[in-house]
Amino acid sequence: MVSDMDQTRSNQASFDDQSDWLSRTAAGTTPSHAAGQPGNYGLPGMFDLPTLRGFAFRQRYILIATIVVALLAALVLTLLATPIFEARSSVRVEPQGNYIVEGQDLAPAITSGQVTSYLQTLGEVIESRKMAELVVDAMKLQENAAFLGKDIDDSRPPGIDDPQWEAQKRDLAIMKAQAGVGAEIPFDSRILKIRFTSNEPAIAASVANQYAKTFVADDNRRTLENNAYALEYLDEQISETRQRLQDAELEANAYAKRNGIVGPTSVNADNSYGGEGGPTITALNLAQINSSYTEARANRIAAEQKWLAVANTPAAQIPEVQNNEVLRDLIGQRSILSAELADLKQRYDDTYPLVAEKDARLAELNRQITRTGSDIKAGIRSQYQVARRQEQALSAEVGKVSRDTLDEQDRRVRYGLLDREASAIRVQLATLLDRYNQIAAAENVQTGSITLLDPALKPGSPVSPNLTRNLLIALVLGSGLALTLAVMREVFDDRLRSLSDAEDKFGVPLLGHTPYVAEDEMGEHASAGGNALDEAYASIAIAIDHVLPGDTKVLQFTSSQASEGKTTSAIALAEKYARLGHRTLLVDADLRRPAMASALGMDRSQQGLVEVLQGKIDFDNVVMREKSNGLDILPLGTIPPDPVELMASALVRNFIVQHRDKYDRIIFDSSPVVGIADAPMLSRHVDATIFIVEANRVHFGQAKAALRRLRAAGASIPGLVLTKYRPQEAGQSYGYEYQYYSYSKDG
């Protein structure tokens, strides 16, 4: 055990470490998570690590028990369950198909984004009742006692005939087949797996294989039915379209006859005759006459311009005259003759016969040349006049034919409608014939989109019950249930757990806390100094001295209910003050159930405080003085019949006034507050009331009510002390308190 001087130095060191925090706590400015105080490590909210750790520790029993019960239940159910076997067969799905000839792509194409939906649809088809009926009828499962159950005949209802019983067994077989089958839809392949479960492995394999065969056969059947339906439908459409085409062509031809619409026979692109595209005779005449008129008009303009150019020009100067071969020849002859005549005239006179002959011939040539030029000029004028008369004649004809064409156009509008309708029906008929030929050719090579891949094998081991899986499920469900129950308990449990709860909920400074010590270890802790409990009370004593004014001497220790540690705290603090050299008086003021004598290991005295207050005995005769530490103890004495009246009287105030100057500290260990009026009455006479709260036991509402009663009585409450604090309940580590209070011991 450390000496009083060493203890004093240790306490002073603790005081130096906490003085600043206590000052701010008394002023109401320190948060509950101040330095040196365990809290939430700066993580606000209810999901921080200490809070979760404390929650798990407090609810550990219900968490563990619920999970263990869930695991045991899963184990028992697994051992009692009937083993189930599962067999799997697989089929290959080709939504697009392999088309050998045109016409096999009868169904609409399935895009890549629709493959999953297509496979999902196939899976629902496999699990449908229709597929179950096909499988049951193919395997005659209604007659299989192993499939329906060996006791199926014993369950036959009375009063039904054989056909009705067979129908009921078939319905039962269909329901069992539908309940046992399942399809696995792939996400990254086109292999569809069909599984079937049964309590018989052979039945599971055979039914799974039959499902695969039936599924493939059903797909092929639907493909053939689709082709047959398509051919039948196209045949009806072709017959109907042919009749419509015949009626349309006859109507168009009759209309053309009635209205005189005549056109050249032509061959269409589809090798059919007729069509409104060819021009009629009237239209051809108009085009031809219009072309001739255009040509005549051009000729007339050219002839007119030519005549106007030569009308006032001498004939000899006209280019056509100058370029005429006959005139050139005549002019040439005239030139030769003129030369010969000139030569003769140089030798002979004009009467010379040869000269006269030459003159006559020259005169004739001149007359021919003049007449030829005039004829050419007259020809140009004649060409102009002819061209003008031709233009006028063609213009009149164009007007007449144009009027006829305009009249015919009105009739061709209606004819065009009839002809276009016939052409559209003709194209439709050609398309239907082409499609019919394609499907007819593809019918012989058509294959289904589903083919059998792997048959199912007889399973060697059951898939259910699966002990590992069931235990995992039970673990998950049990953990969820355990967590729910624990959270519900935690929600409805308002007991004080942590140091921060004490300050945050009550709004009163926390003067300190003491660790939890078992009842059988209290004696060992009381006899040994320097332990965690002793260090805790030393720190509390310093905190009380710091927050109370210097003239505060009389203290009351109380709690909301019994057994919270108020008596232990009063004794421990009284001993601490006495060891620190303070003259201390410890008074047992619990007039209901005094426990101080038992806590001190003494026999209960029959005389004490009650007798002193009543004046039956002198104070010095009943007070017990411990010479080792200077502590005076005043026991209760006899329990009075009227404790409230005694506490409410002036006797207690007079007692305090009488002994205030004799002691540095007077500590009253009073009764609890809840349900008893003693403590509130006593709180009126003392200088301060230290409220004791037991962690993990006292409910917040109860402690809050006790504080409210004390304040209503006029008590001065400088702070509270949290006793029996368990760090693990608050989420702290197990060795937190012992490490916190082991500094002075280790040092």
Please state the rounded mean pLDDT for residues 22-46.
Answer: 40
Measured between alpha carbons, how far is 492 from 494 in angstroms, rounded to an integer? 6
Angle between helices 60-80 and 467-492 (to 10 degrees): 150
Q: How confident is the model at residue 175 (pLDDT cuts 50, 70, 90)?
A: very high
pLDDT in tens, 540-582: 888 888 888 878 889 999 998 888 888 889 999 998 999 888 8
DSSP string, 692-720: EEETTTSBHHHHHHHHHHHHHTT----EE
Whether the pLDDT of residue 30 is over 60: the answer is: no
Q: How many helices (H) and strands (E) does the chain have?
A: 26, 12
Percent of the chain past pLDDT 90, that is, above it, reads 18
Please state the rounded mean pLDDT for residues 194-217.
Answer: 92
Whether the pLDDT of residue 15 is over 50: the answer is: no
- For residue 209, the model assigns a pLDDT of 94
Please state the rounded mean pLDDT for residues 461-485.
Answer: 89
Query: For the chain, first and last CA: distance in Å?
Result: 14
Locate 210 and state its tokens: 């039959």
- For residue 432, the model assigns a pLDDT of 83
Measured between alpha carbons, how far is 630 from 609 in angstroms, rounded to an integer? 19
Whether the pLDDT of residue 163 is over 80: the answer is: yes
- With CA atoms as reference, report the closest residue to 467 among 79, 68, 67, 65: 79
Backbone angles phi, psi at 637, to 5 degrees: 90, -145
Locate 189 and state its tokens: 């392949």
- Report the range of poorest mean pLDDT among 159-168, 212-221, 374-383: 374-383
- For residue 476, the model assigns a pLDDT of 94
Residue 423 parent element (H or E): helix 353-442
Q: 609 with 635: CB under 8 angstroms?
A: yes
Residue with tokens 């000729």: 299
Measured between alpha carbons, how far is 46 from 59 in angstroms, rounded to an integer? 15
- For residue 530, the model assigns a pLDDT of 57
Whether the pLDDT of residue 124 is over 90: the answer is: yes
Half-sphere exposure of 8 (CA within 13 A, CB side): 9
Quick count: other Cβ atoms within 10 Å of Cβ 708?
A: 11
DSSP 267: B
- For residue 136, the model assigns a pLDDT of 93
Percent of the chain past pLDDT 70, that is, above it, reads 79
Measured between alpha carbons, how far is 659 from 554 in angstroms, rounded to an integer? 10
Locate 440 and state its tokens: 């007819």
Whether the pLDDT of residue 11 is over 90: the answer is: no
pLDDT in tens, 604-649: 888 888 888 888 899 989 898 876 677 899 998 888 888 888 888 8
- For residue 96, the model assigns a pLDDT of 61
Measured between alpha carbons, how far is 185 from 367 in angstroms, rounded to an integer? 118
pLDDT in tens, 656-688: 999 998 999 999 999 898 888 888 999 999 999
Residues 6+ apart with CB under 8 A from 424: none
Whether the pLDDT of residue 26 is over 50: the answer is: no
- For residue 178, the model assigns a pLDDT of 92
Domains of the chain: 1-39+498-548+727-747 (no CATH), 282-395 (no CATH), 552-717 (3.40.50.300)
- Report the range of poorest mean pLDDT among 164-178, 319-333, 599-613, 639-653: 319-333
Residue 321 parent element (H or E): helix 319-322
Whether the pLDDT of residue 714 is over 50: the answer is: yes
Locate 78 and state its tokens: 């697994």
Q: 727 with 526: CB under 8 angstroms?
A: no
DSSP string, 659-672: HTTT-SEEEEEE--
Measured between alpha carbons, how far is 169 from 155 in angstroms, rounded to an integer? 11
Q: Give the 3-state secondary structure of residue 444.
A: coil
pLDDT in tens, 38-92: 334 333 445 667 777 777 777 788 889 999 999 999 899 988 888 899 999 999 9
Whether the pLDDT of residue 307 is over 50: the answer is: yes
pLDDT in tens, 494-529: 676 667 777 777 778 888 888 877 665 655 545 445
- For residue 160, the model assigns a pLDDT of 85
Please state the rounded mean pLDDT for residues 277-300.
Answer: 74
Angle between helices 532-547 and 4-26 (to 10 degrees): 50
Q: Is the dihedral of CA 423, 428, 432, 435 positive or negative?
A: positive
Whether the pLDDT of residue 538 is over 70: the answer is: yes
- For residue 505, the model assigns a pLDDT of 76
- With CA atoms as reference, report the closest residue to 572 among 425, 692, 698: 692
Half-sphere exposure of 338 (CA within 13 A, CB side): 10
Whether the pLDDT of residue 140 is over 80: the answer is: yes
Half-sphere exposure of 504 (CA within 13 A, CB side): 12
Q: Is the dihedral of CA 156, 159, 163, 168 positive or negative?
A: negative
Please state the rounded mean pLDDT for residues 457-462.
Answer: 89
The residue among 395 and 468 whose pLDDT is bigger is: 468
Q: Which amino acid, residue 111?
A: T
Measured between alpha carbons, how far is 389 from 394 in angstroms, rounded to an integer? 9
Measured between alpha carbons, how far is 66 from 301 in angstroms, rounded to an integer? 120
Residue 421 parent element (H or E): helix 353-442
Quick count: other Cβ atoms within 10 Å of Cβ 141?
A: 24
